[in-house]
């Protein structure tokens, strides 16, 4: 059932891509687009093609994350694919994915890479840092063996473990517990990427399996990047353990943290533990219902979001094609909920990204066509008026066009002046958002943190860091407001004085980058507060590691801000530029045409005829472009999978 939902989504995405492709070709063929719009459309197409849907499985260890992934996605292999057993099994975050052109393989990032400041996303671009092993997908056994590697561990001295960011705790409560020789067991790998061909993965699904997160040193990137960016997070509890303190910790810190509201589900796994053969089905159903309510209450969520399942029985049922057991495992209800959560969430994102861009480009091209059309009609009007007029009138016409041209050229002077102010202001803007400034500030903060002997010093250094970033964003906002004001005035002047067709420039807000910085600060403070419980030296190492991840995220936010601002600047300037050029051309053509008629009045009729034909072409172009735009919008609004039944009552006993 997941497969069907996905196929519908994939097809929807393909239709959008086809529409955008059509738009792009049409703009090129009709010479309406410009290089910048073309790039933007290409970028949209690339993004649609690489579009990924990430679903993350998060829980304390042994709740059955890996088993659930096996049951939901890989039962077709007739066996368990991901290792799932009592005790800690998955030792590092593991991504399962497939992209056209990939070869089946397993890529493992050694835990030692935590010594460097590089983040996982940075390292993903550096193959040399990874151990890459071929993946034999010919049998379930071979797959199993290969995937068992995500569970590999090694022994390390307490000092080394600490240095790698694992908290050490003699009681074993707040960290790893050293054995008699002072050694602790740590994961061998920091991250694993498993590339293998599977119908869902081929369509862009990425499955993120995580190790039981609490108590062992979780990868900061998981909290800051991988989980917040997942499109759906499935949190798993076990019916036999209920909601323990550490489950709550994981829920609070990793699932419930931050902005996420949509795309979040809870599975209450291992309900088969209640099938003891003594209780009646009604009793069991009542007991399950009771647990679901109590879980919902503890987590403060809608009970409809809690799905009681048995991953293990679900897997067995699928492997043995046992419909009765499958129904009892209730795994299909969860799958249905997962796809109805996941697909629309992702669709919204795609829709938002695409419709704004398409709207802008189509709108801008229509403006240009309409400007051409009105210029042409004016010319046509002038010429039809000339029919049967004498030389004097024609001379008068020529003077009139010349005056208009002079006036426009004066207007152009003002435009050039504005353009140079604009480029100064843009430079200021980039200075505030600059990556150099950010790098300096990061270095300053890092040094201040090293010097800080007490947590207060750390806190101050960090507060300074975040305030500095916010200050820069504020300054950028001021600059953007000024730019928008100036352009608006110029747009208006050209519209009133020269009849150009310019809508007010689009606005731009830095609010989302500010929000991202706030989120990073919040995550950091939380980390600092929990680190305060640990001994001082470790606290420093941990805090600093965390800071590096924060710094990478902050840099990424600023990179995106830079890219967005650059696009905005181009987008607000481009329409004036195009239309000014267009208007200049028209004036030139009008002047030429009157001149020609001045020389030989008998060409007048030919010229009128020519212009009428050109007018027809333009009118047709406007219609075609509007139709292409319409087609894309209507695809964007279509709900794929709308023909599948509405939510099956998930808790029906």
Ligand X SMILES: Nc1nc2c(ncn2[C@@H]2O[C@H](COP(=O)(O)OP(=O)(O)OP(=O)(O)O)[C@@H](O)[C@H]2O)c(=O)[nH]1
Please report, for residues 41, 79, 82, 205, the alpha-carbon distance to residue 76 in angstroms, rounded to integers and kept in the order given.
39, 8, 13, 17
Among 33, 93, 175, 212, binds ligand X (CB under 6 A): 212
Placement of tokens 């290969």 in the chain: 146
Among 10, 37, 89, 214, binds ligand X (CB under 6 A): 89
Residues 312-341: x/- map of binding to ligand X (CB under 6 A)?
A: x-----------------------------
Identify what 62 binds: Mg ion, ligand X, none; CB under 5 to 8 Å per kind. Answer: ligand X
Assess 177 for contact with ligand X (CB under 6 A).
Answer: no
Q: Give the interface segment with Mg ion, choosing from 81-89, 240-248, 405-413, 580-588 (CB under 5 A).
A: 81-89
Nearest distance from C-beta of residue 63 to ligand X, angstroms: 4
Assess 214 for contact with ligand X (CB under 6 A).
Answer: no
Segment 89-118, which members bind Mg ion (CB under 5 A)? 89-90
Assess 203 for contact with Mg ion (CB under 5 A).
Answer: no
Nearer to Mg ion, 90 or 445 (CB): 90
Secondary structure (DSSP) of 348-380: HHHHHHHHHHHHHHHHHHHHHHHHHHHHHHHHH
* H and E: helices and strands count for the chain: 19, 11
Q: Give the interface segment with ligand X, choosing from 28-36, 65-73, 134-142, 549-557 (CB under 6 A).
A: 65-73
- Count Cβ neighbours within 10 Å for each residue of 278-307 and write b for 16 or more, e otherwise: eeeeeebbeebeebbeebbeebebebebbb
Nearer to Mg ion, 109 or 362 (CB): 109
Nearer to Mg ion, 83 or 640 (CB): 83
Nearest distance from C-beta of residue 218 to ligand X, angstroms: 12
Closest CA to 37 of 506, 644, 465, 575: 575
Identify what 357 binds: ligand X, Mg ion, none; CB under 5 to 8 Å per kind. Answer: none
In the structure encoding, which two tokens stand for residue 144, read together? 């199993």
Segment 292-311, which members bind ligand X (CB under 6 A)? 310-311
**3-state DSSP helix/strand/coil % of the chain, to nearest 5:** 65, 10, 25
Edge to edge, the sheet with strand 189-195 lists: 131-134, 105-110, 189-195, 94-97, 205-209, 53-58, 232-238, 264-269, 306-308
In the structure encoding, which two tokens stand for residue 224, read together? 């800051």
Identify what 310 binds: ligand X, Mg ion, none; CB under 5 to 8 Å per kind. Answer: ligand X
Nearest distance from C-beta of residue 187 to Mg ion, angstroms: 12
Name the 3-class secondary structure at 454: coil
Q: Give the interface segment with Mg ion, choosing from 88-96, 292-300, 565-573, 626-634 (CB under 5 A).
A: 88-96
Largest CA distance in the chain: 112
Identify what 618 binds: Mg ion, ligand X, none; CB under 5 to 8 Å per kind. Answer: none
Beta carbons of 48 and 199 less than 8 angstroms apart = no
Assess 255 for contact with ligand X (CB under 6 A).
Answer: no
Query: Angle at CA 71, nearest 5°, toward 66 and 75?
Result: 120
Assess 270 for contact with ligand X (CB under 6 A).
Answer: yes
Among 10, 37, 84, 195, binds ligand X (CB under 6 A): 84
Nearer to ligand X, 322 or 382 (CB): 322
Identify what 221 binds: Mg ion, ligand X, none; CB under 5 to 8 Å per kind. Answer: none
Handedness of CA 489, 492, 494, 497 (dihedral sign): negative
Q: Give the interface segment with ligand X, choosing from 56-64, 252-260, 299-307, 504-512 (CB under 6 A).
A: 56-64
Nearest distance from C-beta of residue 187 to ligand X, angstroms: 11
Q: How far apart are CA 129 and CA 60, in angstroms?
A: 29
Name, in order, each residue with C-beta under 8 angstroms of 595's C-beta and a sequence gap of 6 or more. Answer: 398
Residue ranges in contact with ligand X by CB under 6 A: 59, 61-67, 84-86, 88-90, 211-212, 269-270, 272-273, 310-312
Residue ranges in contact with Mg ion by CB under 5 A: 65-66, 89-90
């Amino acid at each position: 059932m997941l497969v069907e939902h996905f196929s519908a989504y994939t097809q929807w995405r393909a239709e959008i891509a086809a529409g955008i492709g059509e738009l792009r070709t049409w703009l090129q063929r009709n010479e309406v687009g410009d290089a910048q719009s073309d790039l933007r459309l290409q970028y949209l197409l690339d993004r649609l093609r690489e579009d990924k849907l990430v679903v993350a499985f998060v829980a304390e260890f042994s709740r059955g994350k890996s088993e659930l992934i096996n049951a939901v996605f890989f039962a077709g292999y007739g066996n368990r694919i991901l290792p799932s057993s009592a005790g800690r099994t998955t030792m590092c975050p593991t991504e399962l994915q497939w992209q056209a052109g990939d070869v089946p393989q397993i890529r493992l990032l050694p835990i030692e890479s935590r010594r460097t400041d590089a983040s996982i996303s940075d390292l993903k671009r550096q193959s040399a840092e990874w151990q890459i092993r071929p993946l034999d997908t010919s049998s379930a056994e071979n797959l199993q063996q290969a995937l068992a590697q995500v569970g590999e561990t090694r022994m390390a001295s307490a000092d080394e473990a600490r240095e790698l960011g694992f908290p050490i705790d003699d009681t074993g409560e707040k960290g790893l517990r050293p054995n008699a020789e002072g050694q602790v067991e740590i994961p061998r790998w920091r991250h694993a990427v498993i590339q293998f061909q599977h119908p869902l993965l081929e369509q862009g699904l990425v499955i993120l399996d995580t190790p039981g997160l609490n108590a062992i040193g979780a990868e900061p990137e998981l909290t800051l990047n991988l989980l917040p960016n997942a499109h759906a997070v499935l949190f798993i509890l076990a019916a036999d353990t209920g909601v323990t303190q550490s489950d709550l910790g994981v829920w609070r810190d990793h699932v419930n943290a931050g902005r996420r509201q949509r795309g979040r589900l809870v599975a209450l796994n291992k309900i088969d533990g209640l099938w003891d053969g003594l209780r009646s089905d009604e009793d069991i159903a009542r007991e399950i219902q009771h647990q679901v309510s109590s879980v919902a209450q503890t987590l403060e969520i809608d009970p409809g979001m809690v799905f009681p399942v048995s991953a293990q029985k679900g897997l067995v049922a699928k492997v043995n094609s046992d419909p009765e057991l499958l129904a009892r495992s209730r795994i299909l209800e969860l799958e249905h909920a997962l796809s109805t959560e996941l697909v629309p969430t992702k669709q919204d994102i795609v829709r938002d990204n695409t419709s704004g861009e398409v709207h802008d480009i189509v709108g801008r091209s229509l403006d240009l066509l309409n400007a051409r059309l009105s210029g042409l009609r004016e010319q046509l009007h002038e010429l039809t008026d000339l029919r049967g007029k004498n030389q004097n009138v024609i001379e008068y016409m020529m003077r009139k066009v010349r005056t208009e041209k002079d006036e426009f050229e004066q207007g152009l002077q003002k435009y050039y002046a504005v353009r140079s102010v604009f480029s100064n202001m843009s430079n200021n803007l980039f200075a505030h958002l600059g990556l150099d400034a950010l790098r300096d500030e990061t270095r300053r903060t890092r040094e201040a943190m090293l010097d800080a002997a007490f947590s207060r010093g750390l806190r101050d250094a960090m507060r300074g860091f975040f305030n500095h970033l916010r200050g820069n964003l504020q300054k950028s906002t001021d600059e953007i407001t000024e730019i928008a004001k100036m352009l608006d005035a110029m747009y208006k002047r050209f519209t009133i004085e020269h009849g150009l067709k310019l809508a007010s420039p689009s606005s731009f807000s830095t609010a989302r980058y500010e929000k991202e910085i706030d989120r990073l600060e919040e995550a950091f403070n939380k980390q600092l507060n929990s680190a305060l419980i640990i001994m001082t030296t470790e606290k420093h190492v941990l805090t600093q590691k965390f800071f590096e991840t924060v710094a990478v995220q902050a840099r990424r936010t600023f990179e995106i801000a830079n890219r967005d601002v650059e696009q905005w600047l181009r987008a607000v300037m481009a329409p004036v530029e195009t239309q000014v050029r267009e208007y200049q051309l028209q004036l030139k053509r009008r002047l030429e045409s009157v001149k020609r008629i001045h020389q030989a009045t008998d060409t007048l009729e030919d010229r009128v005829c020519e212009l009428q034909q050109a007018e027809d072409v333009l009118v047709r172009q406007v219609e075609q472009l509007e139709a292409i735009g319409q087609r894309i919008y209507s695809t964007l609004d279509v709900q794929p999978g709308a023909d599948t039944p509405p939510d099956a009552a998930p808790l029906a006993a």
